[in-house]
Copies of this chain bind each other. A is one copy, B any other.
Amino acid sequence: MARLTNCIEMMDEGIGRVSQIIPQMPAAEARLCRLMLMVGSSLEGELEFKLKPHKLNHSEFLTLMILYSRPDGSSTPGELCEYASQGATNMTRIANALVKRGLITRGASEEDRRRVLIRITPAGRRFVQKMLPPMFPRVALMFAGFSDGDKRSLSRLLRKLAHNLDELSEATPP
């Protein structure tokens, strides 16, 4: 796999040349956009790489973590779909996989028997507590050389970007 830095360098030159041909292009913004996409997918790759030994993919991991982080360790398929940004079809498949491994259980809700209650099991909690800590060093290394101010800036700017993306997709009711 090519180093990210090389791809970025080549992207910089490419956008430079394109913006000479098409001067109306918002070059700085386009660069930021490409940067986000490149770094984002590299980060995604890094995550999947760390998950592979545990036979989990990103969306299974995310679903499990959402449950783990809940005060009561439970949620419903619909809610999980929302927060894990997955379709219902996919969430059914994810839940099946996690149930099969004994990390979660499915049961009917008491109050509303249409709903399905998904709970993380004690085995699921142990699993998370065992797999999470070995990831910490690499997560910390990603932000090596970032001052506290850098981290705060990055957080602020990403949240601002997220807010703008929300506005954009609300302005487009497809």
Residues of B within 8 A of A166 (CB): 3-5
- A1-B169, A162-B4 known; A151+B28 contact, CB < 8 A: yes
A-to-B contact residues, CB < 8 Å: 1-8, 10, 13-15, 17-18, 21-22, 24-26, 28-33, 35-44, 46-47, 49, 65-66, 68-71, 82-83, 85, 129, 132-133, 136, 138-146, 150-151, 153-155, 157-170, 172, 174
Residues of B within 8 A of A33 (CB): 43, 47, 139, 142
Alpha-carbon gap, A17 to B66, bound state (A)? 11
Alpha-carbon gap, A29 to B107, bound state (A)? 35
Nearest chain-B residue to A153 (Cβ)? B153
- A17-B69, A31-B155, A68-B18 known; A5+B163 contact, CB < 8 A: yes
**A2:B82 contact, CB within 8 angstroms:** yes
Nearest Cβ on chain B to A30's Cβ, whole angstroms = 6
Nearest Cβ on chain B to A53's Cβ, whole angstroms = 11
**A26:B158 contact, CB within 8 angstroms:** no
Partner of A145, one of B69, B136, B160: B160
Residues of B within 8 A of A141 (CB): 164, 167-168
Residues of B within 8 A of A32 (CB): 143, 151, 154-155, 158
**A140:B26 contact, CB within 8 angstroms:** yes
Nearest Cβ on chain B to A170's Cβ, whole angstroms = 8
Alpha-carbon gap, A158 to B39, bound state (A)? 7
